[in-house]
Structure 1
Amino acid sequence: MTKHVSCVDLVRGLSRRSLLKSTAGLLSVPFVAKSTTAWAQEKLAGAGQVVVFSFGGSYTEGLRKYVYDPFTKATGISVVDVTADFSEPQVRAMNQAGRVDWDTAIVQAYNYPDMHKAGMFVPIEYGLWDDEALKGTPEKARLTDAVVSYGTATLLAYDERVFPKSGPKNWADFWNVKDFPGPRGLLGANARSNIQAALAADGVPVSDRWPLTGEKLDRAFKKLDEIRPHVAKWWTAGGEPPQLLLNREYVMTNCYDGRAITAIRQGAPIRIVWDGAPITYNYWTVLKGGPNNQNAQKLIAFVNRAKIAAASTLALGYPGPNINQLLHLPPDLAPLLSINEENSSKLAVEDSAWLAAKRPDGKSNADYIQDRWLAWRAR
């Protein structure tokens, strides 16, 4: 369990609070699973508190309602929130100062390798997890000192009013403006999702996508040159793509899965295509030197129980790794999620280890790609 998932989280510079903004449609869905104190009595009961990093806003509100309050009720441990757009700068600063005030942090996969090597995390106590959580969470998501908290895919979404019978089925169709005419949308700040889409459109299979060599990047940017005149708007905030589809400003766009799914469940005439969708992950970690490490371990064990994982997905719109949660989710939601086997088999997982690796000039591969993207956008 020492090899981490080959994935990287959302592009640096985007507001995490904006990205994981309110999924009101999900929050309104009744959730029948209720935690009781007896439910977690054997291994997770305790006292005191746990200081938990969170992204604030509706993200924290959703977790408070569906995860943290039930955790306190079940275990007797109170949850104290600390919020920021990103955890990594504060975690590094606390580690260097030798004073760690938090117990948990959610860390981007891109940042995990260096922080892991620096010894900033303690091993996850999987002995606290119940059998359903262990069996439902793939081993590749359970690292020695981190566990996937949620995944975010950037998939193809289209207006089914424009293509009611035979819409686009892959990224090649996204580039096919003759058979699928109309204005497109692409994420303006994210180099990697667009580069991966371009490579898919140019016939590069998922198995050959990584590493993104210079030859592949040249190929991707040449392909992006083709679609650029058809991009009506380079979107920035996560809520834009569904809204611009509804406004008929796009006929198709790339879009975060949680945003598209929320819109679909609210009745929007949007369809999603999973084929070749890039997916990224974040990790739960327990911080070395934190004041309440054992309580943090209990919280992470609780979060990954199937019913609580389902509640978290309802609150956030982005699923954790435990596939057994599908048994506890509304029947209209489960088939739409990335962890559903039919969808997960089509995903393109980013190689975070390669992206984090340093180039001869000292830049990471991710920074180099982003620099090329910004130069291309500025042309």
Structure 2
Amino acid sequence: MGQTFPTLLTRRSVLAGSGACGLMAAARRARAEGVSALTIADVGAEPSAAMRRAFYEPFEKETGIRVIAVPHAADPVTQFRLMVETRSYIWDLCMLNTEHVARLQHDGRYFEPLHLTPADTADLLPGMFSDVWLGFSVYAVMMAWQTASFPKGGPSSWPEFWDVGRFPGRRSLCRSPAATLELALLADGVPPDRLYPLDVDRAFSSLARLRDHVAIWWSSGAQNTLLLESDEVDLSDTWSSRAQAAVSAGAPVTLVWNGLYVTDGWCIPTGCPRAGIARAFVRYCARADRQAEYARHIANGPTNRRAFSYLAPERAAVLPTAPENFKGLTKFDAAWWGENTGWVAERFEEFMLE
């Protein structure tokens, strides 16, 4: 007769079990109400494919509720606002970053409360959730340069990126004021912990000094990846997942974890008739094992600290929220941009036309 061993019950194992029971109870209620599917608006392309493998398909298998993913616009704020105001719920959940959330909250009440419990958020990094939003994916705005262009080493800070004498080469920058103005201030010597509120005049003065050396102002993540994979530019700002995609494709690029971090997460529109099962899906995406699976397929950082215990060290090393990388990043202040986007964006467009 084989030996038997006592089961070790920990607080986390109990919470995990209760979480699974809560998920199935939510699924049963949803099916009883005639809900058979959730429609989720995400960013499309590679991130959506990664979410399909990490969140959508496993959720379908565990609950029997089908997940339909549709891409939203590059800036989904107007779509989200109109959907709530007209009560035409084409989405049950939407992937929004912190700036999107701040802009919508500035305008009115557009989000359902998530009813998160301490158990749901116990292992999340600080600032990765609120009563209406849960972050699950972190990306960095950072620096990349062609290794061959700087055989003795390239810039490691934004003042050095701006130093065209010491580090000559063709540069590219994102054609958007958000984050670009922050990088311009860092280049001008503003300490990371004193970035906000942004000194907009100083930022544009800093940008003006570099403008003649910017060969390309990129406007999409796909374009940025192509630039890093080609020899069109020597240095660029970049989004971390796009930079990692270029490296994975064989681009000889050096990445510098110096810049900002931005978090994408889930929100439920106010009045959504399927809010109950949508909340269950949000809690599901907070799980460490699900976030780790997402990070295996796209190089965005998990917000659940325990996700790293599921990841190989070499994979963890390329993610923004890995401790060694995260310490070089400053939180993007979405609330400031939520209040100032309009007039700053107009000024940026005027700057680009000068």
TM-score range, shorter chain: 0.7 to 0.9
Matched letter for residue 205 of structure 1: P
Aligned mate of 2:323, from 341, 354, 372: 341
Specify every segment of 5 or more residues in structure 1 that has no aligned partner in the other structure, as ranges: 1-37, 358-364
Q: Percent identity?
A: 27
Q: Is the 8 A contact 2:182 2:203 kept in 1?
A: yes
Out of 163, 173, 183, the residue aligned to residue 176 of structure 1 is 163
Q: Are the structure 2 counterparts of residues 190 and 99 from structure 1 closer, same or farther at C-alpha, using a change threshold of 3 Å?
A: closer
Structure 1 contact 101–290 (Cα < 8 Å) conserved: no
For residues 312-363 of structure 1, the C-alpha deviation after alignment (integer angstroms, 9 at most, x for no partner) is: 2333432341122222234322112211122222212222222222xxxxxx
Which is helix-richer, 1 or 2?
A: 2
Of the candidates 264, 269, 287, which is equivalent to residue 282 of structure 1?
264
Q: Secondary structure at the match of 1:204?
A: coil
Structure-2 residue corresponding to 1:210:
196
The superposition leaves residues 34-90 of structure 1 with CA deviations (integer Å, 9 ceiling, x where unpaired) of: xxxx99742212243322222334443332233211111122222123432144333
CA contact (8 A) 1:313 1:320 kept: yes
In structure 2, relative to structure 1, the CA distance for the partners of 1:269 and 1:57 (3 Å cut) is closer
Indicate the SS of the match to 1:321.
coil
* Displacement after TM superposition at 1:174 (Å): 0.5
Q: Which residue of 1 aligns with 2:66?
A: 78
1:181–1:111 CA distance, 2 compared to 1 (3 A): closer
* Structure 1 segment 26-45 matched on structure 2, within 5 A: 41-45=20-24
Q: Aligned partners of 1:191, 1:87: CA distance in 2, in Å?
A: 17
Q: Could you tell me the TM-score, scaled by structure 2's length?
A: 0.83
Paired with 1:181 and 1:114, the residues of 2 have a C-alpha distance of 38
Show the counterpart of 1:103. Answer: 92
* Distance (whole Å) between structure 1 residues aligned to residue 197 and residue 185 of structure 2: 12
Q: Secondary structure at the match of 2:139?
A: strand
Return the alpha-carbon distance in structure 1 between the equivalents of residues 344 and 79 of structure 2. 26
From the superposition, tell whether residues 139 and 58 of structure 1 become closer, same or farther in structure 2 (CA, over 3 Å).
Answer: closer
Task: Describe the shift of the 1:140–1:59 C-alpha distance in structure 2 as closer, same or farther (beyond 3 A).
Answer: closer
Cross-structure match for 1:91 = 80
TM-score normalised according to structure 1 size = 0.78
1:185 and 2:164 equivalent? Answer: no
The Cα shift of 1:123 comes to 2.0
CA contact (8 A) 2:301 2:322 kept: no
The gaps in structure 2 that reach 5 residues or longer are: 1-16
**More off after superposition, 57-66 vs 328-337:** 57-66
**Counterpart pick for 1:371 among 346, 351, 354:** 346
Distance 1:286 1:93 in 2: 14
Aligned residues between the structures: 327
Using the TM superposition, give the Cα deviation of residue 101 of structure 1 relative to its aligned residue in structure 2, in angstroms.
4.5
**Residue 142 of structure 2 aligns with which residue?**
155
